[in-house]
Amino acid sequence: MTKELWKGNEAIAEAAVRGGLEAYFGYPITPQTELLEYLAKRMPGLKRVFLQAESELAAINMVYGAAAGGARAMTSSSSPGFSLMQEGLSYIAASNVPCVLVDMMRGGPGLGNILPTQGDYFQLTKGGGHGDYHPLVLAPASVQEAADLTYGAFELAERYRTIVIIAADGNIGQMMEPVDMPPMRAIPRRDRGWELSGARNRPRRIISSLYLQGEELERLNQRLQATMAEIETREVRYAESQTADADLLVVAFGSAARIAQSAIKDARARGAKVGLFRPITLWPFPTDRLRALAQTIKQVLVVELNAGQMVQDVRLAVGAAASVEFFGRMGGVVPMPDEVLARIVSAMPSASFDRDHPWAIAR
């Protein structure tokens, strides 16, 4: 297959279309607006639904309605808009309705700026709305991966009747990379037994998240927890490179992992045994694999585009098996690979570096 050059936001939009997106509702916000604009052009020609909502609050509730109606529905936003969607997400989670969201994270808190960050990690993985739930969160590190994950997101969402979030940031949304676009997939036409379509020839159906009795609501929560436990055992995804002989493990996701990868290449060139562990599912977090790796590794360095959020999950996984350090930049400041390399060097015992290497950094 020939690769084409795609901008991240547009690649996600096209991959969603090919993955069966039937109804998109969104509201403009940088740095994801091209996604909405692309679908404004693409969807009507396919006789699928595109609607610009009056707010993110409305957009997520339109998704809720369309998904309750059985359609493959999606919205996209960036951090401030994503915050507004939390109410709807909590209801969607409680109602067991599948849907897909894209959060193209930007600098916060507040209006912040439009630069890339990973500051929504807590909100994404710990459940930003009220109550006990976790969406399934996928963090691509390239445009290709963003397209692939989006393509498969609807089936994943439907398998568990859950929310799937593509968690990327302005870097991924705005950069252009060669992509092998997956083929157009037929939209499945089926009645899954729960969707609303009018009660013709069948008993009526209700989609609701209201349970006045404590025991009843607890049962719903137990069902949700059981589904989440199943997701935790079956859907954990991660990527790792050069971990077999590593003394130091860099843990990073999304575009931070791309930067870390460059730093690791330089470190390796100097003889330092550094590996990369990259969670692809932020929830469920790849705890078990990281715990196993920590048994053979002395040092862990977590790199994020925030003040240190995923590092908490890393510490939980690693426990006392290795020391965990953190390096992050905030406010949309994207570190250079050299900055990460400097952290790697300072975290490692000096013996593990080739002091005579021509690229050795002056410290």
Nearer to another protein, 55 or 222 (CB): 55
Least separation, in Å, of the C-beta of 100 and another protein?
Answer: 14
Structure-token pair, residue 306: 């925030």
Least separation, in Å, of the C-beta of 164 and another protein?
Answer: 17
Least separation, in Å, of the C-beta of 183 and another protein?
Answer: 24
Bridging pattern class, strands 281-283 and 99-105: unpaired
Q: Tally Cβ neighbours within 10 Å of residue 52.
A: 15
Peptide bond into 31 cis (omega under 30): yes
**Residues lying near another protein in the complex (CB under 8 A):** 22-23, 25, 49, 51, 53-55, 57-59, 61-71, 73, 87-88, 91, 196-201, 204-210
Nearer to another protein, 24 or 121 (CB): 24
Least separation, in Å, of the C-beta of 187 and another protein?
Answer: 11
Q: Is 288 helix (H, G, I), strand (E, B) or coil?
A: helix
Q: Tally Cβ neighbours within 10 Å of residue 50.
A: 18
Torsion of CA 23, 27, 28, 32, to 10 degrees: -50
Least separation, in Å, of the C-beta of 157 and another protein?
Answer: 15
Least separation, in Å, of the C-beta of 53 and another protein?
Answer: 7
Bridging pattern class, strands 99-105 and 73-77: parallel
Q: Report residue 329: phi and psi, to 5°.
A: -120, 150
Nearer to another protein, 90 or 123 (CB): 90
Nearer to another protein, 42 or 270 (CB): 42
User: Which residues lie closer than 8 Å to 87 by C-beta, 6 or more apart?
Assistant: 57, 60, 129
| Amino acid, single-letter form, for residue 89 | L
Least separation, in Å, of the C-beta of 68 and another protein?
Answer: 5
Nearer to another protein, 49 or 330 (CB): 49
Nearer to another protein, 110 or 198 (CB): 198
The span from the CA of 43 to the CA of 265, in Å, is: 42
Nearer to another protein, 73 or 305 (CB): 73
CA atoms within 13 A on the CB side of 177: 19
Q: Is 326 helix (H, G, I), strand (E, B) or coil?
A: strand
| Amino acid, single-letter form, for residue 17 | V
Q: Tally Cβ neighbours within 10 Å of residue 212.
A: 6
Q: Name beta bridge partners: 52.
A: 26
Nearer to another protein, 69 or 308 (CB): 69
Bridging pattern class, strands 99-105 and 136-138: unpaired
Least separation, in Å, of the C-beta of 189 and another protein?
Answer: 12
Least separation, in Å, of the C-beta of 209 and another protein?
Answer: 7
CB–CB of 46/13 below 8 Å? Answer: no
| Amino acid, single-letter form, for residue 264 | I
- Please state the separation of Cα 140 from the chain's center in Å: 7
Nearer to another protein, 187 or 239 (CB): 187
